[in-house]
Structure 1
Amino acid sequence: MAATAAMLVAVALTNSSAALAVPTPEAAGKLPTNITPVDQIPAEDAGAQIAAIAAAYPEAFAGTHWDAATKTLYVNVAAPRAKRADLRTVFQQAVTGKLRSAKSPVKTVFRPVPLSLDGQQALLDTFMAGRAKWGGQSAVRNVVGATVDAKTGTLFAQVSGDLAALRTAAQRRFGKTVSLRPGTAIKLDDRYYSSSPWTAGNALWGSQDASRSTAQCTQGYNWRRWADNLRYASTAGHCWAPGTSLYNGLPDQRIGYVGTRYLNTGEYVDFEYIRITYGSVDNSVWVGGTRDASHRRVLWADNDGTQTGVTVCSSGANFGLNCGVILNRTTTFNYGAEYGYASLSKLTCVSKVTGYGPGPGDSGGPVLTTATGGAVKAWGQYIGRKDCDGDGDEDWVFAGIKNIAARVGASLIVS
């Protein structure tokens, strides 16, 4: 599975069927102010071009980072492991040539870092999978998540209890490469009267008698599944069990039911299909508040999956639009007993910048940026909140579009 995800350079995209009856998009003049910084858009494009080249240099590439303050796109480059060919110069020449031929306006700086993206993931896998060996059952119970700082190569782990003893055990096994900090388990968070085609960002309920004052979860992006070529809606895998009937708006407005759920140890997604039994789905998405959101169109996706430093926003049914800066693409954490202690990795962590942050009922909802005219770029689907870097502030986590497509075998629906 990991190899499949690594090989997936671009997410397959499916055009919306012309036969679908879709709401008329709002005129550009009526759309809310663009939520994505204008100078970030060419940086996203440059990052995607670099990621495509980097597939041939996995031991050299360590991701890109957009520094909004200095308007600089940093390309992280790692030294090779012992007895491996040093391809850093060749990689840098390839990147420079590609951006020059594309006439990219973005200032690019190559930055040396200790570990490639593969190296960061290997460290995380060794640390998390080996908890019982280096820290016993205390580590299994109390290590609730970890991530690697790309600049320093340090693994920061969050621990809910027995910190002193686990810190000693981890340092004995990993030395100064690992730093343990106090932390808590991720908070799983659990538009109201929509109509077909069902739109990403819609409020969802798992029963007819549930209160309609707040959503239980949020509809994610819509997908075409390769196995049967059918169109599905989606949400977070921790929201409901397979087979659960789902509703939007009125108690009798059943839109379908939960299909296959993806929430297993070793995976990169918290996701479940929604099989539509009434109406249809398209490429529409709500962008904005809970009751004053704007109806937009998803036109493309983050095919990179490695860039940090860019601003993205969640658009949830309960807490509306909340934006933040991507901290890392390597967050991993464990779920509780209700979900079989599943341990997910390669998730994206975002620091809170605006608003309260996504909250209960926003789970599964779209994470996005916008371009001129309000068109949407899909980045992923929201999972929950946690302190990813140990600074005491609550960040939020989502599963990336690229990883979702690779794992569930589907194409994002776009126009």
Structure 2
Amino acid sequence: MSKQADSALTQMRRAHEEQVLSLLRTRGALSRRELGLRSGLSRTTLHDIISGLMSNGTVVSAAQESSPRGRGRPAESITLNPGAGQAVGIDFARQHVHVAIVNVAHEIIGSADEAHAADLPWPDRVAIAERLIARLTDSVVTLDSLTGIGVGVVGPGAGHAGTPPWTGTVKNRLNTRFGVPVLVDNNTRLAALGESVWGVAEGHQDVVYLRLSHGVGGGLILGGSLHRGAHGISGELGHITVDPDGPACPCGNHGCLETVASVNAITTAYQQAGGHPGEFPDLLTDLKDDKPRARVLVNRVGALTGRVLAGVCNSVGPELVVVGGDLTQCGDAFLEPLEAALRAQVMPAARRDLQVRVATLGDAGAALGAIALVLHESPLLARYLTDTTGEGDDS
């Protein structure tokens, strides 16, 4: 065989290997049959490629939890070697730091969080993140093969034009400490990504995500891709006006959804209505005890939230709405009026098929989305502009 022909075969084999590896990176564990269907490779070629990747330790085989046949040996799945690399995700929420670690086989191998005061300086927040990572590496994982760190932060434009100046300090400190690229983006948009990769929205192409906690924000998955927007402010659902004469919002407007449906806003409103003069957990207790003031207030906030979601849904036409954050702890008192208002005001053609679900990843959602951003292998990120250098725009 000529050197030219041998070179062509080598290049073809490498292309086939990368095709298989790309599928495993984006989809997680797959059976040989699924790999064959998705890659289009012949059974013989695929067997040869997988055998080579197994021999050098790049991929490993594992029995799936259950066999579709319901009997006999469990079907074998192929996955990237879990020891080949890890990524860390950090969510710097308003009053919490959340950390998660995932390996390249898409296995969540550790998570931790810690609360802090809302005015805690940023160097101290980064120190909390470093401490949480150290705690996880002492107990569940080592970071010998760390490939990158994803960071979620509060604020419009985070990670893009308009990035708060302190993000440069965060990125530089983490990069110096761990020696890997650090990518930053808006934490609520990353929570939407996390739910779409690992959570309740997995497999859906058009999703509206809304998180209601100390702040209110969202994220959009459109046509199977995370949507950033021209200025990096896509998903700022908390700043849609629900009452033009309402209280002032930090964004400069009045009566934004965040002034009604955030933890602080609903707690303050409950106190003003003569309810429990305590904190959000006290409102939840009164709601559980079916106190009328608590129920009426939460019903109203749910309905207002549903109206906002209806407007968004009429604009983008999702198949799924995901609601997450602390306010979902209010349960049916919040979610039922939300869904009723949403369905009453969304276009009739969408009412029957539109689904509403509660987020499943909890506090780890944004940290897991930050990991997906680092891996940059999800199909959801195919058209998403990210800073792959880890340097970003710190202006």
TM-score normalised per structure 2: 0.25
Greater helix percent: which structure?
2
Greater strand percent: which structure?
1
Larger radius of gyration: 2
TM-score normalised per structure 1: 0.25
